[in-house]
Amino acid sequence: MQITRAAEYGVLGLTALARRPLGEVVMIDTLCAEEDIPRSFLGKILQSLNRAGIVRSARGSGGGFCLAKEPSEISALEIIEAIEGPISLQRCLDEDLGCEHSTGCALCSLLAVAQDRVKDVFRTTSLSDLTGRHIPNGLVRQARDRHRESESTPPVEAADTVTSTWTIN
């Protein structure tokens, strides 16, 4: 009943991309450093997102990844399903072969409803909804390190001034 780490990392990695101007190409290493994600794992995940048309990749020197569309055009559902495959709360809801338990199964009906609710939440949340309020620890640490390194440089805007609360209508 849990989202996988791959999906978690995927969403987080994309917020890092979405924090930049659309089209800016960023290397995996940069994204990993910002979001504290194992590098080779994020590589794999970005491959899936590339195949799904959510990011675009560029090889060779100067290469990396950028978003393929506006963050507001990318739903959390797209992202998660690109990584984990279709969301399904139960094997019987997987759209291929029915279950052995019963023809008009009450359990399946219940789980189908729950599954729809989840997908609704994910579908109606875009990447841009996720980007604003999220300040990854990786970035915070980088800012701190920069500050400690040269006392002359003023610190970046404090992370804890962000106070927005979550609402989904």
Partner DNA sequence: CTCAAACCGGACTGAAATGATCCGGAAAAG
Partner DNA sequence: CTTTTCCGGATCATTTCAGTCCGGTTTGAG
- Positions touching ligand FES (CB under 6 A) are 8, 92, 99, 101-102, 105, 107-108
13, 55 Cβ separation under 8 angstroms: no
- For 75, phi then psi, to 5°, come to -90, 155
- For 158, phi then psi, to 5°, come to -60, 140
Residue 143's binding partner, choosing from DNA, ligand FES, a second copy, none, with beta-carbon cut-off 5 to 8 A by kind? none
Binding mask 54-83 for DNA (x = CB under 7 A): ---xxxxxxxxx------------------
CB atoms within 10 A of CB 49: 24
Residue 8 tokens, joined: 């978690």
Q: Which 99-158 positions form the footprint of a second copy (CB under 8 A)?
A: 100-107, 109-114, 117-118, 120-122, 125, 129-137
Residue 154's binding partner, choosing from a second copy, ligand FES, DNA, none, with beta-carbon cut-off 5 to 8 A by kind? none
